[in-house]
Structure 1
Amino acid sequence: MGNDEIWRENRVAATGIVALLVLCLGLMGYVGIASGESAGDGPEPFVTDRVAEVRIVMSDDDWETLQLDALEEEYVQADFWFDGELVPDVAVRPKGNSSLNSVVRQGSTRLSLKVDFNFFNSARTFRGLKKLNFNNGFNDPTFIREHISYELFDLMGLPTPKTSFVDLWINDTHMGLYTQVEQVDKTFLNRYFSDVGGNLYKPEPPAGYLSWTEEDLEELRDELGIAAPEDEEIALQINMGGAKLVDIMNALEEQEEDVEDGTDNRRANAPESEPMDFIEKMGLKTNEEFPDHTALLNFLEVLNNEPDETFPEEIEKVLDVDSALRFVAVAGTIGYFDSYLGVGHNYYLYEVDGKFTIIPWDLNGSFGAFSMGMSRDDIINCYIDEPTIGPVAERPLVERLLTYEPYLEKYYEYLDEFLDGPFSIEKMTSRINETADLINSYVYADELKFFSNEDFERGLSQDVERSGQGGAPPMGMLPEGPPPGGLPPGEFSPEGFVPPGGFPPPPGGQTPLPQLSEESLTCLKSKFEKEVLDELRTRRPSIEELEKLKSCLSREEMDVFLRRGPSVAVPTTGSTFIGLRTFVVERTKSIKEQLEGKRPSYGDGSGSGSGDMRMPVMGDFPGGPLPPL
């Protein structure tokens, strides 16, 4: 029996079961799952004393599409099984930033996934959750970094998503060991805040550095000819429960076309956005139907422009300072640089009554796994007073707080609390050992993992050499020949360009400008020197340069160019993964020596080990150039 037949039989069986529940429970005045209110009323699925089994069953066509078109991040319809419990009609899509690009370039099918229980049924949840994330461990030979890092933030009192390990299957493909991560949404917010009606933001750089104000926003909009969103555009972003109105309308149009031509296509577009300015890059996730960014703009004005004399009084009105200091203490200690401290993303900001709280996110690059060009020594000895990758002045959430002496002293207290408590060598050694024992057999049974069994064992204590971002894919999973899009020798590509995922240009050719027609590319090469196009990765175009760009590129190509640059140089991840136990011992020693004055705790303001990164700084045009989103 094929997977398509199995999928259909499961759907028929599930429909029969639901109908029976409606009949039986409806007689008792209770509808439950049949009304779409809840699927599975058991405990939360974040079990920590074992590895749960998750099976996702979809049609063969959808599974093939999910793999071949992973970068499109389109939802497909599937059935979801958690430890034998069925939730029918869920939406599943690939997820990730650099991780997704890396996996696709490697030819691997081991995708990180987002499961939306709410997409096709806006009233339905699974054990109270609307979404779950399943992360593939692409950047960690031990599988442990992400799970333990979330635990550490939680133990230091920050609002933190829950995590656990699962053994994941898609149809008859054993995907292997994944980290299951709670979605940051209103369900999550309800656990930590008395009011879940505030604005939730998920920033991306350069807006995510928080080093801009309303004045900067207006200046950039004027300079680039970007108008504020129209009311109609805002209305289409209204959240209808499972998805934005525009996405639901698109999905319905696709399904209507499928019915007319007799096909059976259950795919629905994933939420898409075309960020055009700082506000869009802040990524509002709630209240999209009536967006009001007044509190955000006020917060940024205080953070960037409030005089030192009144800064403490005013910042405490718009920021949970205590939580922010704890965040910086934990993030800097565990080498969480793929975050606000480095790239300017992988965190949430939640606002209630004008006051913001920071929430950690996407921690697979912690413990120095995402080094941004820093040497091993730079990572271990990262300055505690300048725990940023790049100029500390361009991360005002760090610079303004840590240059005020009472806040700096409180920050030192939290460092001491962290080192003597959750991050103590004794507790961390025990936690690493317990977690490794829990997942050991699943790691060994995982044939699609990005690293070897030897890397897993060695990475717990010893450094592991990389073979590229996220390690090498399993044997036989690399596509033959250069990756798609490679250019013949001699074709244009900025010098020193490192394509998404940290890989060198493909053998026999270089990486092309993204999504530009041959005519547009020829025009650019005729109007700009190669060095100038390369510079446009890291600065805003002048008026004259902007006019040249407009003369060569369509509006769509301009958007690609201005958001991503002629190419995207992303930070390298370093040559080794530092052994987990080794990291804890050496980082603890370094921080204690800095606190005791035996080692420098600050530098010249340029940040710790800025290395070879080429990331946007304040003043860059909105949205770019950036690593692929």
Structure 2
Amino acid sequence: MNVKLDFIKSDQNFQGYNTLKLSNGFMDPSLLREVMGYYITRKYMPASQANFIKVYINNAYIGLYTNVENVSKDFCSNNYYSSDNAFFQCDQAEKKVTLPTGCSTMNQMPTLSYSSSDSNCYKNSYEIESDYGWSELYKLINILNNNSTEIEKILDVDRAIWMLALNNYYVNFDSYSGSGHNYLIYQDNNKRFNTIMWDLNEFYGAFNNSGTGSLSLSQMLSLTPSLHFTNNARPLIAKLMANASLKKDTLPI
């Protein structure tokens, strides 16, 4: 549930936040996953603030909810010192468009897989949050898939690896590392995209589809750290881990 504090009065906010994103614990009877996940993640990369709030409506107590900071332009400004660069929510677009002839239809998930040299081919797989950015997104996808030795020029590789490592540690399959979505990317003033984790309510194995099939509890407890290392359908993992130095930094000693 989203509560927009500035819906009626422009620029209205509470302690600098103009949106409350409330969750009633869907798929998380402990009500701990999101708050715990963002708390840990913030130690390694920018991530949403999260806490618990008691919700009252007209003085009637509704219940305890988790409250997660929206990844918005304000978030980008606070963490990357800009807010008007290329910005994408990596989830399939709600409003579909007719794609040009020649676009690949094999993988419509926002996995940064290469489809075509036409940036319009990606418009159903990503939700743009900025005024521009499709050519920048295509450049990222093209370099990642076809010239990955240059990837550090356009991607903050350290933060991308942290996102992937945390997904594995959390057994967070409702993410890039499993279902291939639920993250954001923002291009900072150094022209490098930053990966941002999102939607952590199903980590610690609440969602068990690893992207190659559903796993049992015992399989998730012993999840390999090399998941998708050779899976071309997850190029952010496969291409980065093809680099021996990055692979060494990622795998446990």
What is the TM-score with the length of structure 1 in the denominator? 0.36
Which amino acid counterpart does residue 187 of structure 2 have in structure 1? E
**Residue 132 of structure 1 aligns to a residue in which SS?**
strand
Partner of 2:136: 295
Which amino acid counterpart does residue 374 of structure 1 have in structure 2? L
Partner of 1:127: 15
**Residue 366 of structure 1 aligns to a residue in which SS?**
coil
Partner of 2:161: 325
Cα–Cα, structure 1 residues 293 and 216, in superposed 2: closer, same or farther, change >3 Å?
closer
CA contact (8 A) 1:207 1:278 kept: no
Q: How does 1:473-622 map to 2 (within 5 A)?
A: 595=253
Partner of 2:183: 347
CA contact (8 A) 2:28 2:206 kept: yes
1:140 aligns with 2:28: yes
1:180: how far off?
A: 0.5
Superposition RMSD on alpha carbons, in Å? Answer: 2.0
1:217: how far off?
A: 5.6
Q: How does 1:386-401 map to 2 (within 5 A)?
A: 386=227, 392-401=231-240
Match of 1:363 among 200, 206, 219: 200
1:122: how far off?
A: 2.6
**Residue 153 of structure 2 aligns to a residue in which SS?**
helix
CA contact (8 A) 2:24 2:64 kept: yes
Partner of 1:626: none
1:215: how far off?
A: 2.9
Partner of 2:128: 284
CA contact (8 A) 1:319 1:356 kept: yes
Partner of 1:561: none
1:162: how far off?
A: 0.2
**Residue 408 of structure 1 aligns to a residue in which SS?**
helix
Cα–Cα, structure 1 residues 125 and 286, in superposed 2: closer, same or farther, change >3 Å?
farther
1:316 aligns with 2:152: yes
Which amino acid counterpart does residue 286 of structure 1 have in structure 2? S
Relative to total residues, which structure has the larger helix share, 1 or 2?
A: 1
Q: How does 1:70-81 map to 2 (within 5 A)?
A: none
1:393: how far off?
A: 1.6
Q: How does 1:418-457 map to 2 (within 5 A)?
A: none
CA contact (8 A) 2:119 2:134 kept: no
Q: Distance in 2 between matches of 1:193 and 1:213?
A: 29
Partner of 1:168: 55
CA contact (8 A) 1:204 1:283 kept: yes
1:151: how far off?
A: 0.9
Q: Distance in 1 between matches of 2:143 and 2:111?
A: 15
Q: How does 1:200-279 map to 2 (within 5 A)?
A: 200-205=87-92, 206-215=108-117, 278-279=122-123
Q: Distance in 2 between matches of 1:337 and 1:213?
A: 23
Which amino acid counterpart does residue 200 of structure 1 have in structure 2? F
Which amino acid counterpart does residue 360 of structure 1 have in structure 2? M
**Residue 348 of structure 1 aligns to a residue in which SS?**
strand
Which amino acid counterpart does residue 180 of structure 1 have in structure 2? N
Which amino acid counterpart does residue 196 of structure 1 have in structure 2? S
Q: Distance in 2 between matches of 1:169 and 1:280?
A: 38
1:407 aligns with 2:250: no
Unaligned runs of 5+ in 2: 93-107
Partner of 1:377: 218
Q: Distance in 1 between matches of 2:154 and 2:204?
A: 31
Deviations 1:534-591 (A, max 9, x none): xxxxxxxxxxxxxxxxxxxxxxxxxxxxxxxxxxxxxxxxxxxxxxxxxxxxxxxxxx
Deviations 1:403-453 (A, max 9, x none): 2110001113xx5xxxxxxxxxxxxxxxxxxxxxxxxxxxxxxxxxxxxxx
Which amino acid counterpart does residue 43 of structure 2 have in structure 1? L
What is the TM-score with the length of structure 2 in the denominator? 0.85
Q: Distance in 2 between matches of 1:173 and 1:209?
A: 44
Q: Distance in 1 between matches of 2:113 and 2:143?
A: 11
Match of 1:159 among 40, 46, 59: 46
Unaligned runs of 5+ in 1: 1-112, 219-276, 416-594, 596-629
Q: Distance in 2 between matches of 1:134 and 1:298?
A: 35
Q: Distance in 1 between matches of 2:215 and 2:118?
A: 31
CA contact (8 A) 1:213 1:304 kept: no
